[in-house]
Amino acid sequence: MTRAQQTISIALLFTSLYLAVFMEVVSFPEKVQKEIVPVLPFWAIVSFGAYLLFKLGLGVFTFNDVPDAHKELVEQIQQARAELSAKGVDVGSD
Protein backbone atom coordinates (compact mmCIF):
# COMPACT_ATOMS: atom_id res chain seq x y z
CA MET A 1 0.00 0.00 0.00
CA THR A 2 1.50 3.31 -1.03
CA ARG A 3 1.59 6.29 1.25
CA ALA A 4 -1.10 8.05 -0.79
CA GLN A 5 -3.42 5.05 -0.53
CA GLN A 6 -2.79 4.85 3.20
CA THR A 7 -3.51 8.56 3.65
CA ILE A 8 -6.70 8.35 1.61
CA SER A 9 -7.82 5.29 3.57
CA ILE A 10 -7.27 7.02 6.90
CA ALA A 11 -9.04 10.17 5.68
CA LEU A 12 -12.03 8.12 4.52
CA LEU A 13 -12.14 6.29 7.85
CA PHE A 14 -12.19 9.52 9.84
CA THR A 15 -14.75 11.05 7.48
CA SER A 16 -17.01 8.02 7.87
CA LEU A 17 -16.69 8.11 11.65
CA TYR A 18 -17.44 11.83 11.74
CA LEU A 19 -20.49 11.47 9.51
CA ALA A 20 -21.78 8.61 11.65
CA VAL A 21 -21.50 10.80 14.74
CA PHE A 22 -22.84 13.93 13.00
CA MET A 23 -25.90 12.13 11.64
CA GLU A 24 -26.46 10.60 15.08
CA VAL A 25 -25.98 6.99 13.96
CA VAL A 26 -23.59 6.82 16.90
CA SER A 27 -25.01 8.97 19.65
CA PHE A 28 -23.26 10.96 22.32
CA PRO A 29 -24.73 13.04 25.14
CA GLU A 30 -26.92 15.90 23.91
CA LYS A 31 -24.45 18.64 24.84
CA VAL A 32 -21.58 16.95 23.00
CA GLN A 33 -23.78 16.18 19.99
CA LYS A 34 -25.04 19.76 19.61
CA GLU A 35 -22.03 21.86 20.68
CA ILE A 36 -18.86 19.92 19.91
CA VAL A 37 -19.51 17.60 16.97
CA PRO A 38 -20.55 20.34 14.48
CA VAL A 39 -17.29 22.27 14.97
CA LEU A 40 -14.90 19.29 14.78
CA PRO A 41 -14.01 19.83 11.08
CA PHE A 42 -13.07 23.48 11.74
CA TRP A 43 -11.06 22.45 14.79
CA ALA A 44 -9.24 19.84 12.69
CA ILE A 45 -8.41 22.36 9.94
CA VAL A 46 -7.15 24.95 12.43
CA SER A 47 -5.10 22.33 14.28
CA PHE A 48 -3.58 21.04 11.04
CA GLY A 49 -2.70 24.60 9.99
CA ALA A 50 -1.08 25.27 13.36
CA TYR A 51 0.92 22.05 13.04
CA LEU A 52 2.13 23.02 9.56
CA LEU A 53 3.10 26.51 10.73
CA PHE A 54 5.02 24.98 13.63
CA LYS A 55 6.86 22.61 11.27
CA LEU A 56 7.67 25.52 8.94
CA GLY A 57 8.90 27.69 11.81
CA LEU A 58 11.00 24.86 13.22
CA GLY A 59 12.52 24.26 9.79
CA VAL A 60 13.43 27.94 9.45
CA PHE A 61 14.74 28.07 13.01
CA THR A 62 17.00 25.04 12.56
CA PHE A 63 18.02 25.85 8.98
CA ASN A 64 21.59 26.78 9.90
CA ASP A 65 22.02 23.66 12.02
CA VAL A 66 22.94 21.49 9.07
CA PRO A 67 26.66 22.06 8.43
CA ASP A 68 27.07 18.71 6.66
CA ALA A 69 24.41 19.61 4.10
CA HIS A 70 26.04 23.02 3.58
CA LYS A 71 29.42 21.41 3.04
CA GLU A 72 27.94 18.92 0.56
CA LEU A 73 26.13 21.70 -1.32
CA VAL A 74 29.31 23.78 -1.62
CA GLU A 75 31.15 20.74 -2.97
CA GLN A 76 28.42 20.13 -5.55
CA ILE A 77 28.56 23.78 -6.64
CA GLN A 78 32.33 23.57 -7.07
CA GLN A 79 31.96 20.34 -9.05
CA ALA A 80 29.31 21.89 -11.29
CA ARG A 81 31.50 24.95 -11.90
CA ALA A 82 34.44 22.72 -12.80
CA GLU A 83 32.35 20.67 -15.23
CA LEU A 84 30.89 23.77 -16.87
CA SER A 85 34.31 25.42 -17.11
CA ALA A 86 35.65 22.27 -18.79
CA LYS A 87 32.91 22.66 -21.41
CA GLY A 88 33.83 26.31 -21.98
CA VAL A 89 31.03 27.97 -20.03
CA ASP A 90 31.98 31.08 -18.04
CA VAL A 91 30.38 30.70 -14.60
CA GLY A 92 32.28 33.34 -12.66
CA SER A 93 33.90 32.81 -9.28
CA ASP A 94 31.77 34.29 -6.48
What percentage of the chain carries pLDDT values higher than 70? 96
Which parts of the chain fold into alpha helices (H)?
3-22, 30-31, 40-61, 67-86
* Predicted pLDDT at 65: 67
Question: Is this prediction's pTM over 0.85?
Answer: no
Q: How many CA atoms within 13 Å lie on the side-chain side of 88?
A: 0
- Summarised one tens digit per residue, pLDDT across range 52-88 is 999 999 988 887 767 788 889 999 999 999 999 898 8
